[in-house]
Amino acid sequence: MSSDLRLAEHFPRSKGCEKQAQTFFECFTVNGQQGISDDVNLALTECKQEMSAYDSCMKFALQKYPAKVSRAGAAYRRRES
């Protein structure tokens, strides 16, 4: 088992990779119920192949559909007195 498995920064985005994301998310959900043992996330280990396909697809999808950065709405901005 490898302890260096972790979710990518693009998680849980799926635009452009809906099929791969769905497959990975389903695997992650089912295996995530087992929890974490000895600092190794069992769900990521069990879903390594699905996560790899999802991450590979997202590399291209993020170029085509970059993340949108938006400014917080007025209700969430702090007012200075």
Residue that has been written with the tokens 């087992």 in this structure: 34
- pLDDT category at 80 given cuts 50, 70, 90 is low
> What average pLDDT does the structure give for the chain?
82
| pLDDT score recorded for residue 72 | 65
Bridge partners, 37 (sequence order): 40
Structure tokens belonging to residue 44:
């990521």
Contact status, residue 9 vs residue 57, Cβ threshold 8 Å: no
Give residue limits of the domains in the chain: 18-62
Whether this prediction's pTM lies above 0.75 is answered by no
1 pLDDT band, cuts 50/70/90, is very low
Q: Model confidence over 5-17: pLDDT tens digits?
A: 888 999 999 999 9
Q: Which tokens belong to 47?
A: 């879903």
Residue 2 identity: S
